[in-house]
Amino acid sequence: MEPGKEKGTATPREQNQSPRPNLKPVTMNKNLRKKKKKDLEELKKEVDMDDHKLTLDELSAKYSVDLTRGHSLKDAQEILFINGPNSLTPPPSIPNWVKFCKQMFGGFSLLLWTGAFLCFLAYSINLRYNEKADKDNLYLGIVLSAVVLITGCFSYYQESKSSKIMESFKNMVPQQALVIRDGERMQINVKDVVLGDLVEVKGGDQVPADIRVISAQGCKVDNSSLTGESEPQSRCPDCTHENPLETRNIIFFSTNCVEGTARGIVISTGDNTVMGRIASLTSGLTMGQTPIAVEIEHFIHLITAVAVFLGVTFFFLSLILGYGWLDAVIFLIGIIVANVPEGLLATVTVCLTLTAKRMARKNCLVKNLEAVETLGSTSTICSDKTGTLTQNRMTVAHLWFDKTVYEADTSEEQTTGKTFPKSSDTWFYLARIAGLCNRADFKPHQESVPVAKRATTGDASESALLKFIEQSYNSVNEMREKNPKVAEIPFNSTNKYQMSIHLLEDNPQAHMLMMKGAPEKILDFCTSFMLNGQEFPMDEEMKVDFQNAYLELGGMGERVLGFCYLNLPSNFSKGFQFNTDELNFPMESLCFVGLISMIDPPRTAVPDAVGKCRNAGIKVIMVTGDHPITAKAIAKSVGIISEANETAEEMAARLNIPVSQLNTKSIKAIVVHGSELKDMDSNQLDHILKTYKEIVFARTSPQQKLIIVEGCQRLGAIVAVTGDGVNDSPALKKADIGIAMGITGSDVSKQAADMILLDDNFASIVTGVEEGRLIFDNLKKSIAYTLTSNIPEITPFLMFIILSIPLPLGTITILCIDLGTDMVPAISLAYESPESDIMKRLPRNPKTDNLVNHRLIGMAYGQIGMIQALAGFFTYFVILAENGFKPLDLLGIRLYWDDARLNDLEDSYGQQWTYEQRKVMEFTCQTSFFISIVIVQWADLIICKTRRNSLFKQGMKINWWFCAIPYSALIFIYDEGRKLIIRRRPGGWLEKETYY
Partner 1 sequence: MTKTEKKSFHQSLAEWKLFIYNPTRGEFLGRTAKSWGLILLFYLVFYGFLAALFTFTMWAMLQTLNDEVPKYRDQIPSPGLMVFPKPLTALEYTYSMSKPPTYEKFTEDLKRFLEPYSVEEQKNLTNCPDGTPFKQSGPVYQACQFPVSLLQNCSGVNDTDFGYSKGQPCILVKMNRIIELMPDGSPQIICDAKDADIANILTYPDHGLIDLKYFPYYGKKRHVGYRQPLVAVQVIFESSATKKEVTVECKIGGSSNLKNEDDRDKFLGRVVFKVTVST
Which sequence positions are flagged as catalytic?
A: 384
Nearer to partner 1 among residue 626 and residue 907 (C-beta): 907
Sign of CA dihedral 838, 843, 846, 848: negative
Binders of partner 1 among residues 540 to 569 (CB under 8 A) are none
What DSSP character marks residue 573?
-
Cβ of residue 808: shortest distance to partner 1, in angstroms?
Answer: 14
Name the minimum Å distance from CB 903 to partner 1: 4
CB 912, min distance to partner 1, A:
4
CA distance 752 to 823: 35
CA geometry: angle 750, 755, 758, nearest 5 deg: 75
Shortest Å, Cβ 872 to partner 1: 11
**Position 834 contacts partner 1 (CB under 8 A):** no
Question: Rounded CA gap, 827 and 860, in Å?
Answer: 17
Q: How far is the CB of 884 from partner 1 (least distance, A)?
A: 4
Q: At a CB cut-off of 8 Å and minimum separation 6, what does 376 contact?
A: 769, 770, 771, 772, 773, 774, 775, 776, 843, 844
Q: Which is nearer to partner 1, 763 or 890 (CB)?
A: 890
936 in Cβ contact with 821 (< 8 Å): no
Residues ≥6 apart with Cβ < 8 Å to 765 = 364, 375, 381, 383, 609, 720, 722, 739, 757
CB of 817 to partner 1, least distance (A): 21
Determine the residue type at 854.
Answer: H
b vs e for 257-295, b when ≥16 Cβ sit within 10 Å of the residue's Cβ?
bbbbbbbbbbbbbbbbbbbbbbbbbbbbeeeeebbbeeb
Nearer to partner 1, 456 or 917 (CB): 917
Residue 874 or residue 938: which is nearer to partner 1 going by CB? Answer: 874
Is residue 886 near partner 1 by the rule CB under 8 A? Answer: yes
Judged by beta carbon, residue 680 or residue 802, the one nearer partner 1 is 802
Q: What is the dihedral of CA 202, 203, 209, 212, to 10 degrees?
A: 70
Closest CB to partner 1 among residues 420, 913:
913
Q: Shortest gap between Cβ of 887 and partner 1 (angstroms)?
A: 7
Residue closer to partner 1 by CB (options 910, 966) is 910
**692 has which bridge partners?**
none
Indicate the residue among 200 and 907 with the shorter CB distance to partner 1: 907
Would you count residue 904 as binding partner 1 (CB under 8 A)? yes
Nearest to 381 by CA among 718, 669, 606: 718
> How many CA atoms within 13 Å lie on the side-chain side of 415?
4
Under rule CB under 8 A, how many of the chain's residues touch partner 1? Answer: 34
Interface residue with partner 1 among 909, 952, 974, 995 (CB under 8 A) is 909
* 302 in contact with partner 1 (CB under 8 A): no
State yes or no: residue 139 binds partner 1 (CB under 8 A).
Answer: no
Piece of the chain touching partner 1 by CB under 8 A; list 380-388, 494-502, 805-813, 884-892: 884-892
Nearer to partner 1 among residue 320 and residue 888 (C-beta): 888
| 884 lies in the site for partner 1, by CB under 8 A | yes
901 binds partner 1 (CB under 8 A): yes
Site stretch for partner 1 (CB under 8 A), options 241-249, 438-446, 702-710, 897-905: 897-905
User: Does residue 829 contact residue 781 with C-beta atoms inside 8 Å?
Assistant: yes
Q: Least distance from C-beta 905 to partner 1, angstroms?
A: 9
DSSP per position, 516-568: EE-HHHHHHHEEEEEETTEEEE--HHHHHHHHHHHHHHHHTT-EEEEEEEEEP
- Please state, in angstroms and rounded to a whole number, the distance separating the CA atoms of residues 338 and 332: 10
One character per residue 851-880, x = contact with partner 1 (rule: CB under 8 A): -----------xx--xx--x--xx--xx--
Beta bridge pairs of residue 404: 401
Q: In angstroms, what is the minimal distance from the CB of 880 to partner 1?
A: 10
Nearer Cβ to partner 1 (187/848): 848
Tell me which stretch binds partner 1 (CB under 8 A): 232-240, 476-484, 638-646, 906-914. Answer: 906-914
Q: Are 189 and 206 in contact (CB under 8 A)?
A: no
Residue 194 and residue 15: Cα distance in Å, rounded?
14
Q: How far is CA 305 from CA 339, 344, 484, 790, in A?
A: 10, 17, 85, 14
- 70 neighbors 188 (Cβ within 8 angstroms): no
Task: Work out which of 907, 926, 944, 946 binds partner 1, going by CB under 8 A.
Answer: 907
- Of residues 910-969, which lie at the interface with partner 1 (CB under 8 A)? 910-917, 920-921, 924
131 binds partner 1 (CB under 8 A): no
637 versus 868: smaller Cβ distance to partner 1: 868
Distance between CA 380 and CA 390 in Å, rounded? 19
Q: Which of 9, 261, 573, 908 binds partner 1 (CB under 8 A)?
A: 908
Ranges within 675-694 binding partner 1 (CB under 8 A): none
Smallest gap from Cβ 352 to partner 1, in A, equals 31
Burial tier of 556 (Cβ tally within 10 Å: 0-12, 13-18, 19+): buried
Residues 763-792, one symbol each (x = binds partner 1 by CB under 8 A, - = not), give: ------------------------------
What is the CB-side half-sphere exposure of residue 946 using CA atoms within 13 A?
Answer: 12
Phi/psi at 258 (nearest 5 deg)? Answer: -85, -45
Q: Minimum distance from CB of 904 to partner 1 (Å)?
A: 4
Instruction: Note whether 634 and 604 are within 8 A (CB).
Output: no
Contact of 137 with 123, CB cutoff 8 Å: yes
Rank residues 185 and 855 by Cβ distance to partner 1 and give the closer one.
Answer: 855
Convert 676-713 to b/e letters by CB count within 10 Å (16 or more is b).
ebeebeeeebeebbeebebbbbbbbebebbbbbbebbb
- Closer CB to partner 1, 361 or 901, in the complex: 901
| Residue 179: φ, ψ to 5° | -120, 160
CB of 809 to partner 1, least distance (A): 17
Question: Which residues have CB under 8 Å from 323's CB, separation 6+?
Answer: 331, 801
Q: Quote the least distance from Cβ 875 to partner 1, whole Å.
A: 10
Q: How far apart are CA 730 and CA 705, in angstroms?
A: 9
What lies within 8 Å, CB to CB, of 783 at 6+ separation is 299, 341, 344, 851, 852, 856, 860
The verdict on 902 binding partner 1 (CB under 8 A) reads yes
Among 882, 966, 983, 986, binds partner 1 (CB under 8 A): 882
Instruction: Report the interface residues with partner 1, using CB under 8 A.
Output: 862-863, 866-867, 870, 873-874, 877-878, 881-884, 886-887, 901-904, 906-917, 920-921, 924
